[in-house]
Amino acid sequence: MTSDSGSSSSAADAQVFAETQTFDLVVIGAGAIGENVADRAVQGGLTVALVEAELVGGECSYWACMPSKALLRSGAALREAQNVSGAREAVNVDGFDVRAVLNRRNEVVNEWNDKSQVEWVEGAHITLIRGFARFIGPKELAITHENGSVTKLVARHAITVSTGSAALLPDIPGLADSAPWTSREATSSQTIPKRFAIMGGGVVGCEMATAYASLGSEVTLLSRSALLSTQEPFAGELVRDSLIGLGAQVKIGVSPTQVERNGAGGEVTLTLDDGSTLVVDELLVAIGRTPHTGDIGLETIGLKPHQWLSTDDTLLVLDDEGRPLEGEWLYATGDVNHRALLTHQGKYQARAAGDVIAARALGKKLSIESWGAHVATADHEAVPQVTFTDPEVASVGLTEEAAKKAGYSVRAVEYDISWVAGASVTSENYVGRAKMVVDEKRQVLLGATFVGQDVGELIHSATIAVVGEVPLNRLWHAVPSYPTLSEVWLRLLETYGRDGSSF
Ligand SMILES: Cc1cc2nc3c(=O)[nH]c(=O)nc-3n(C[C@H](O)[C@H](O)[C@H](O)COP(=O)(O)OP(=O)(O)OC[C@H]3O[C@@H](n4cnc5c(N)ncnc54)[C@H](O)[C@@H]3O)c2cc1C
Ligand SMILES: NC(=O)c1ccc[n+]([C@@H]2O[C@H](COP(=O)([O-])OP(=O)(O)OC[C@H]3O[C@@H](n4cnc5c(N)ncnc54)[C@H](O)[C@@H]3O)[C@@H](O)[C@H]2O)c1
């Protein structure tokens, strides 16, 4: 790294900078994904600056994955115990301790303090720069610090945008003025609203409906389409049934047309398109995400503000014509590239990007063929996801519908997980279903979905089968232990049939 104090001498901008610093790579955004890009590039031999405007660790650590799972876990643990004799009698005593759940969530997010993550960054020999980054030209950024000073960062080889995403708010009359909750408030609230409406039946909507119904809210979930509509249809149906069992109201095909809050902190009235009204204490909007690219100077490098940054498989950003920017210096990883809005998948991209940036910078051999070290091939048809509803929904790869749409010759089979011996040991009331989607031509798995208690821990076996393109006749030799839930694998294979004969 070189550091030149004093005014910038660049003719490209008239702004006076307190300081100019140069690194091989600059990563914008220290969420889980930016951290990993930086780490890999340092390990590959580069000097790296990591710029963060808020908390090191990003959304996942403080307002998304971790706090949401902490809010969900206590209810899940309680229900698990309530479904096993003996344990049931032990837990049915004083009721649910909501304050303890919120306190545990506060601990899980380190009280929104990023000290331990900063220590990790420093230990990884990454230079952390606190401030908000904006492009001022190719390979150049202006960083605005909290005290108002502005410094300039120059990248010798590359810049990676890992700025993440924020909740999308629809243009509904009155909504913006009604102080709606987004995922940030839902995951960080220190109180539980008595009456709670949720707009959006996707992953955030279903998880937060489960959490808040468990914590005692009267939840109304409004979804314009079926719940979890990108999953196999039975997933959303089983989650809907369980939400109703938890006391929530689930309204499918219903959207708000007007929202009004009765003064600051007052109740919120929603007018719905079925003609009814709904009065609640808080409204959560969870209808998807928008990229953090509105105010980062994309116009100075020939891109449009507010756009998702589409990339090739080495995570190089592509322009409107599908070409990398001149000089091939701009990368995007994580939510901001819209390939798969999941922490684990973004971190997978980060490993590929950090390695390929270092390899390109140092003139090393690239491995960019499908499934090579420097490409994120799995983003296309092998993405795993666990939705921590009750029952959990775990899936990888393509649904039957998506596989057909992609042109595969498909056969799919389903099995009721409650019929597996391991399920009856796990719970006296096990509800679950599994499905595998097979490419008939190659006799390999294209996708798998498991819905039920504890299936999140089952999905990696399916991910290995999909990514490894393991032939079905070999999968018969992967013997599941008895009596575990994984015996559902054997039942799915039997349902599909061996050597052409169906059981
Ligand atoms: C409620 C909820 C629950 C979720 N649960 C899960 C889950 O269980 N599992 C899972 O895999 N995924 C989950 N996700 C998705 C996951 O949170 C995201 O995929 C992940 O956080 C994306 O990481 P990122 O690093 O791309 O972005 P972020 O985590 O948003 O990090 C981006 C960082 O960049 C910083 N930044 C932005 N602009 C600038 C700038 N101009 N200058 C400097 N810094 C900047 C931001 O402050 C932020 O720290 C969940 C999402 C939500 C909303
Ligand atoms: N456990 C997990 O892995 C996890 C948990 C939470 C979030 N996430 C990630 O966070 C991202 C955001 O989640 P999300 O739930 O906000 O988005 P989502 O895309 O999962 O679901 C949004 C839902 O809102 C609906 N919708 C969209 N526009 C609408 C409108 N104008 N009116 C009414 N409904 C509308 C969509 O049809 C969809 O059902 C997801 O991509 C997800 O992968 C992951």
Alpha carbons 303 and 159: distance in angstroms, whole number: 14
Whether 388 lines ligand 2, by a CB cut-off of 6 Å, is: yes
Residue that has been written with the tokens 């070999």 in this structure: 474
CA–centroid distance for 380 within its chain = 16
* Cβ neighbours for 259, distance < 8 A, ≥ 6 positions apart: 172, 173, 174, 175, 178, 180, 268, 269, 270, 271, 283
- Sign for the CA dihedral angle at 350, 354, 360, 363 comes to negative
Whether 32 lines ligand 1, by a CB cut-off of 6 Å, is: yes
- Please tell me the distance between residue 482's alpha carbon and the centre of ligand 1 in angstroms: 39
- Of the candidates 111, 159, 206, which has an alpha carbon nearest to the alpha carbon of residue 301? 159
Whether 286 lines ligand 2, by a CB cut-off of 6 Å, is: yes
Q: Please calculate the CA angle 415-342-442 and round it to the nearest 5 degrees.
A: 45
Ligand nearest to the CA of 164: 1
Alpha carbons 235 and 499: distance in angstroms, whole number: 30
Do residues 68 and 38 make contact, with C-beta atoms less than 8 angstroms apart? no
Alpha carbons 213 and 248: distance in angstroms, whole number: 6
- Please tell me the distance between residue 379's alpha carbon and the centre of ligand 2 in angstroms: 18
Report whether 163 belongs to an annotated binding site: yes
Whether 346 lines ligand 2, by a CB cut-off of 6 Å, is: no
Whether 341 lines ligand 2, by a CB cut-off of 6 Å, is: yes
Whether 338 lines ligand 2, by a CB cut-off of 6 Å, is: no
Pocket test for ligand 2, best of 68, 73, 203, 392 (most atoms within 8 A of CB): 203
Alpha carbons 206 and 391: distance in angstroms, whole number: 11
- Please tell me the distance between residue 458's alpha carbon and the centre of ligand 1 in angstroms: 25
Alpha carbons 287 and 170: distance in angstroms, whole number: 8
Do residues 70 and 43 make contact, with C-beta atoms less than 8 angstroms apart? no
What letters, b where the CB count within 10 A reaches 16 and e where it falls short, cover 368-382? Answer: eeeeeebbbbbbebb
Residue that has been written with the tokens 């490098």 in this structure: 301
- Please tell me the distance between residue 235's alpha carbon and the centre of ligand 1 in angstroms: 25
* Ligand 1 atom at minimum distance from 335 CA: 26
pLDDT 10s digit of each residue in the chain, 503 long? 444 433 334 444 567 898 999 999 999 999 999 999 999 999 999 999 999 999 999 999 999 999 999 999 999 999 999 999 999 999 877 678 999 999 999 999 999 999 999 999 999 999 999 999 999 999 999 999 999 999 999 999 999 999 999 999 999 999 999 999 999 999 999 999 999 999 999 999 999 999 999 999 999 999 999 999 999 999 999 999 999 999 999 999 999 999 999 999 999 999 999 999 999 999 999 999 999 999 999 999 999 999 999 999 999 999 999 999 999 999 999 999 999 999 999 999 999 999 999 999 999 999 999 999 999 999 999 999 999 999 999 999 999 999 999 999 999 999 999 999 999 999 999 999 999 999 999 999 999 999 999 999 999 999 999 999 999 999 999 999 999 999 999 999 999 999 756 54
3-state helix, strand, coil in the chain (%, to 5): 35, 25, 40
Say what the pLDDT of residue 452 is: 98
Pocket test for ligand 1, best of 187, 343, 347, 460 (most atoms within 8 A of CB): 343
- Sign for the CA dihedral angle at 182, 183, 186, 189 comes to negative
Q: Which residue's C-alpha comes closest to atom 26 of ligand 2? A: 287
Residue 44, number of CB atoms within 10 A of its CB = 20
H helices within 198-270, ranges in order? Answer: 203-214, 233-245
Tokens of 427: 């719970």
- Of the candidates 34, 8, 258, which has an alpha carbon nearest to the alpha carbon of residue 126? 34
Alpha carbons 99 and 109: distance in angstroms, whole number: 16
What letters, b where the CB count within 10 A reaches 16 and e where it falls short, cover 272-302? Answer: beeeeebebbbbbbbbebebbbeebbbebbe
* Cβ neighbours for 348, distance < 8 A, ≥ 6 positions apart: 376, 378, 379
Ligand nearest to the CA of 342: 1
Whether 383 lines ligand 1, by a CB cut-off of 6 Å, is: no
CA–centroid distance for 482 within its chain = 33
Alpha carbons 145 and 52: distance in angstroms, whole number: 10
In single-letter form, the type of residue at position 115 comes to: K
- N-terminal to C-terminal alpha carbon distance within the chain: 66
- Of the candidates 256, 116, 106, 105, which has an alpha carbon nearest to the alpha carbon of residue 178? 256
Pocket test for ligand 2, best of 227, 287, 455 (most atoms within 8 A of CB): 287
Ligand nearest to the CA of 52: 1
**Domains by residue range for the chain, with CATH:** 10-55+114-166+291-378 (3.50.50.60), 61-108 (no CATH), 176-288 (3.50.50.60), 391-498 (3.30.390.30)
Whether 225 lines ligand 2, by a CB cut-off of 6 Å, is: yes
Ligand nearest to the CA of 54: 1
Q: Treating both helix axes as pointing N-terminal to C-terminal, what angle do 65-82 and 203-214 enclose, rounded to 10 degrees?
A: 50
Q: Which residue's C-alpha comes closest to atom 38 of ligand 1? A: 163
CA–centroid distance for 270 within its chain = 28
- Please tell me the distance between residue 58's alpha carbon and the centre of ligand 1 in angstroms: 5
Whether 368 lines ligand 1, by a CB cut-off of 6 Å, is: no
Strand, coil or helix: 394: strand
Q: Which helix (H) or strand (E) holds 34?
A: helix 32-43
Say what the pLDDT of residue 20 is: 96
In single-letter form, the type of residue at position 464 comes to: I
- Please tell me the distance between residue 325's alpha carbon and the centre of ligand 2 in angstroms: 31
- Of the candidates 107, 153, 108, which has an alpha carbon nearest to the alpha carbon of residue 127? 153
- Please tell me the distance between residue 33's alpha carbon and the centre of ligand 2 in angstroms: 20
What letters, b where the CB count within 10 A reaches 16 and e where it falls short, cover 428-447? Answer: eebbbbbbbbbbeeebbbbb
Q: What are the angstrom distances between the C-alpha of 68 and each of 110, 114, 155, 208, 255?
A: 14, 18, 36, 7, 24
In single-letter form, the type of residue at position 343 comes to: T
Ligand nearest to the CA of 395: 2
Alpha carbons 95 and 249: distance in angstroms, whole number: 22
* Ligand 2 atom at minimum distance from 223 CA: 34
Q: Which residue's C-alpha comes closest to atom 33 of ligand 1? A: 29
Report whether 207 belongs to an annotated binding site: yes
What letters, b where the CB count within 10 A reaches 16 and e where it falls short, cover 319-328? Answer: eeeeebbeee
* Ligand 2 atom at minimum distance from 204 CA: 15
Pocket test for ligand 1, best of 65, 72, 385 (most atoms within 8 A of CB): 65
Report whether 375 belongs to an annotated binding site: no
Residue that has been written with the tokens 């913006």 in this structure: 176
- Please tell me the distance between residue 205's alpha carbon and the centre of ligand 2 in angstroms: 7
Ligand nearest to the CA of 32: 1
143 bridge partner residues: 133, 151
Residue that has been written with the tokens 């997933």 in this structure: 235
